[in-house]
Amino acid sequence: MGVAMLFACVFVPCFAVQASVRCEPEQKRLAWSNRPVAVFDGPDSLPRIFACNQQAQIAGIETGITKARAAECQEIVLRKRDPKQEHAAQAALIDCASAFSPRVESTAQGIVTLDIDGTERIFGPVPKLLRLLAEHASRIGLEVNVAAASNPDTALIGAKGFTGTTVIAAGNDANAIAQLPVDVLPLSQAQAEVLDSWGIRKCRELALLPPVPLTERLGQAGLHLQRLVRGEVIRTLVPVDPPLKFQESLEFEDSVEDMESLVFVLNRLLEQISARLVSRSLATDELRLTLGLEIHEDCDVKSNLRQKRSEMFERTLKLPVSMQDTKVLLRLLQLDLAHHGPGAPVKRVTIEARPAIRRFSQGGLFAPLAPEPEKLEVTLARIRGVVGEADEHGRGRVGSPEVLDSHKADEFRMTAFTTEEIKAGPWQDCRNGSITMSMFRPLLAAHVRCQAGKPVHISFAEVSSLIICVAGPWSTSGNWWKQDEAWRREEWDIAIQLSNGVGLYRIFRDLRQNAWFVEGLYD
Amino acid sequence: MSSLASIRAQVEERLSGRVTAPFTARVPIQQPVLATGIPAIDAIMGGVPCGEITEIVGARWCSAGRKRLQSQLLSVATKDQFCALVDATDSFDPKSARAAGVDLRRLLWIRCSGQGMKAMEQAFKSADLLLQGSGGFGLLTLDLAGISEGFVRKVPLSTWFRFRAVVEKLSAPLVVLTPYPVVGTCCGLTVNLSGAKIRWSDPTTGGPAHARLAMGLDFDVQVGARRSFKKPSQSIRSFSAERQWA
C-alpha cells in the first residue's frame, strides 16, 4: 500500500557522550569508538556520571555513580560535561535536518523531527532520504537513528527503538512498534514502576490494555501513553527558527602549547562549522577565533599553590569574499596565528563563523580574467606575513588603494582587494599622458639653502645639487581646528641637474616645524 | 621552368619525413603583447610581451619616465583585467595614477616596508608568492626603481631564471622597474628610459617663480634588446607627460 510518509525523526543515542566527543580529531574519535566513554557532571568535590555509551554500560557504568568509581573501570574515557558543546551539537542537528526540510522541530536534546511531506521529488523515496539524513548527521560527528512515520510521535518511538533507518508505513504504526520495550515511551519514574509491577514490558502489552481501567489507574497520562503506542496521537509539528549562529568549541583536558596540536583541533572545528554552513547553503565572511589561555604567574615560593590566571585571546579574520572551504579557512587561521600567536598554553578553543550568502559566480565571455578568490586570499595572507599588516598610519600594506577627498598630499586608504564584478564608479577626470609622481614614504628630510626667499641648493639622501629652476611657492594648510592633525606647508617644484639626467622634485617646507622635506619625484 | 619544378619535387621527395615543407615560408608566431598606449613605444615594439619579463630601466634619482610608463601600462590593463603591483619602496602615488587613468579598484598594491636590502627581500618574496600562488592577473609589476643600484645588482641571476620559468606559463607580462639593467638574458624586452626635458610655462629663469609651472616632461625611450625578434630596434624616440591642468 503506497502511503505518503509525512514525518521523520532523528534521534541521537547517548547524546551527551556524542556531543562531548564530536569535535575531537578524527583519529581520537576512531580510537574511542570501541571504548567505554562516560560524561561526568556536578561539583568538583563530588562529580557524578551524567551519561555513558553502550560500551560503558556493558562495563558496568551507570548514571549517577561517582567519577572515582567509574574511573576504576579499565580503558574508560571520562569527559567533563560541557553544556556549550551540547548546545552546539543540537544546533548542528537542526542544521542537518534543515538541509532536508524547511519545517524542523527541535523536539528535545538530541531529537529533531522534520516534516518530509513532498520531498520525494528532491531526495527520492523515503528510505533513501533517511539514509541521506543519517549520512549527513555522520558528517557532523553524530551517529543517529532515523525513523519515518505518518505521525511525529510514532516516528520518535521508532527512532528510539530501532537502530539505523526505519520506515513505518501509515496505518501500521501499532504493529511496527509493538515489540519495542516500553522504555522508549516518555515515562515518569512512577509510571515506569506501575507498569513494571503489572508486568507490562512491551508496547504491544500496553496497547492491549482496556482504556477505561487504565485511565482509572494512571489518569489521562496513562491513556496518552496507550494512544502513543497505538499510533493514534495526532499533534501539530512546532517548527523552530533558531538564530543562525555557527559556533563550535572544545576544551582541552590539558592545555596545548604547540601549534601542531592546535591545528588538529581547529581543523575539526572548522569541518563541523563548514558542514553546518553547507547544510544551510551558506558561507562565512568572518571568522572569530577565541582561545582561552592558561597563564601561570610567578608566585611566592613559600606558597604551595601556583597561581593560575585565565585570559582570552581573540583573533578576527575578515574575509573579502564569502567562503566555506575548510582547507582555505584553516590555512588562513594558521597563517594568522603564525604571526599573532597566543603566547601561552591554550585551554579552550572557540570558533564562530558569521554566516553570509554563498558566492555564485558564472564565468562569462566578457568577464575579466581574475584570480581565484580562495587561492588569492591565502596568497595575500602569506604576503601580509612578509610585508606586515599595516604601516605607521594604520593603512594596510596589502590591498587596493582608495584616494581620499582631501587637500592634504598623499591621503589615501587601503581597502580589501576583491575580484568581484566592479560597477562603474564615480566619474573621474583622468587624462592619458598625465604626469605621475614617485612618492617618498617616509618623507625625506632635506637641507635647503635659500636666497631671496627662493631655494637655490638642496641636499637630501645621496643627492646634493644646485637648483637649476624653481616654481612656487604654493601655500596649503588644513585641519587647523585639530591640534594634533593640523598642517601648514609651502610647496615648491624644483629641477636639479644630476650626473645622469634631470630630476624634477616636489619639495615643501613644513611651516609648523620649519623643516624642509622632499615629497616626491615627477617621474 | 619545368626543370625547376622537377628539382623542387626531388628535394621535397628527399626531405619528406624529415622536413615538413622545405619551400614554405615560415610564419613567425605572433606573441600576444600588452599595448602601452604610448604611440612612440607601440610603434617600435607593439607593447610589452605577455608571458615574458619586461625590464624598464631608468636612473634612480632622475625623472626618467618609469612611473609614467608604469601608470600607462596599468591604466591600459585595469580597463578589463586585474593587476598586481609589488612596490619595494612604497613609492606608488594613487592620486596621480588615478589621474592617469588607472582603475585603482582593480589594482592589488603590495607595499613593502623597510629600506634597502630588507625592502628588496620583501619585494622578491611577495612577487614569488604572487607568481606561484595565484594566476589570473593581467599585469604583474615589480617596482625596484627606488632601490639603490648596488642592492639591485646583488639579485642572483637564478632568481630571474625562476621568475622567467613561472611567467612563461602565465598569459600576463611581468614588468620590472629597475635603476640598472639586471634581468639579463631572462628579459624578453628591455626599455631604457632617460633624458627628461622639463617644459616650463616660463622658460626664462629671470621671471617670478610663483608664476612658473612645470607643464610637462619629455622622456627618451630606447628598446635595448628583444628576445623575440632578431633585430632589436635601437632608435631613440620620445614620449611626454603632461600636467593634468596643462
Rg of chain B over all Cα atoms, to the nearest angstrom: 22
Instruction: For domain A7-177, give the fold.
Output: Alpha-Beta Plaits (3.30.70)
Minimum CA–CA partner of B71 in chain A: A436
Chain A hits for B242, CB-CB cut-off 8 Å, are: 431, 433-435
pLDDT in tens, chain B (246 residues): 568 888 888 888 888 877 777 777 666 566 788 888 887 777 777 788 888 899 999 988 888 889 989 999 999 999 888 999 999 999 999 999 998 889 999 999 999 988 888 999 999 999 999 988 767 888 999 999 889 888 988 888 899 999 998 988 888 899 999 998 888 888 888 888 887 788 888 777 677 778 788 888 888 888 775 555 444 555 667 777 777 654
CA distances to B63, B221, B224 from B39, in Å: 20, 12, 18
Task: Please state the ipTM of this predicted complex.
Answer: 0.85
Q: CA–CA separation, B144 vs A192, rounded Å?
A: 83
Instruction: Give the range among A111-120, A198-207, A415-424, B192-201 with minimum mean pLDDT.
Output: A415-424
Residue to substitute from B81, B105, B213, B242, interface A, most A β-carbons within 10 A: B105
With 80 as the cut, is the pLDDT of residue A103 above it?
A: yes
Nearest by CB: A435 against B126, B209, B216 = B216
- Rounded CA-CA distance A374/A285 in Å is 12
Report pLDDT digits (tens) over A379-428.
Answer: 999 999 999 988 888 899 999 999 998 888 888 999 998 887 666 555 55
Residues of A in contact with B103 (CB under 8 A): 422, 425
Q: What percent of chain A has pLDDT over 70?
A: 93
Nearest CA in chain B to A396: B111
Instruction: Please state, in angstroms and rounded to a whole number, the distance separating the CA atoms of residues A491 and A509.
Output: 7
pLDDT of A218 above 50: yes
* Cα–Cα distance measured from residue A191 to residue A218, given in angstroms and rounded to the nearest whole number: 7
Omega before residue A442 within 30° of 0, cis: yes
CB contacts under 8 A, A 378-397 vs B, are 378-380, 382-383, 386-388, 391, 397
Residues A277 and A353 sit within 8 Å (Cβ to Cβ): yes
- State how far the Cα of A436 lies from the Cα of A413, in Å rounded to an integer: 19
pLDDT in tens, A348-367: 899 999 999 887 766 667 76
Record: contact B209-A473, CB cut-off 8 A: yes
Q: What is the architecture, at CATH level 2, of domain A254-297+309-360+372-378? A: 2-Layer Sandwich (3.30)
Task: State the nearest Cα–Cα gap between B167 and chain A, in angstroms.
Answer: 15
Mean pLDDT over residues A122-130, rounded? 91
List the single best residue of B73, B93, B202 to mutate versus A (max A Cβ within 10 A): B93
User: Which residues of chain A lie closer than 8 angstroms to B75, CB-CB?
Assistant: 430, 432
Chain B residues in contact with A380 (beta carbon < 8 A): 108
Q: Any CB–CB contact under 8 A between A59 and chain B?
A: no
In the prediction, which pLDDT does A16 show? 92
Distance between CA atoms of A145 and A12, rounded to whole angstroms? 6
In order of their start, the domains of chain B are 48-240 (3.40.50.300)
CB of A339 within 8 Å of any CB in chain B?
no
Residues whose CB is less than 8 angstroms from the CB of residue B209 and which lie 6 or more positions away in sequence, other chains included: A454, A470, A471, A472, A473, A492
A224-237 per-position pLDDT tens digit: 999 999 888 888 88
Contact A440 B91 (CB under 8 A): yes
Domain extents in chain A = 7-177, 254-297+309-360+372-378, 437-522
Q: Work out the minimum CA distance from A273 to partner chain B, whole angstroms.
A: 26
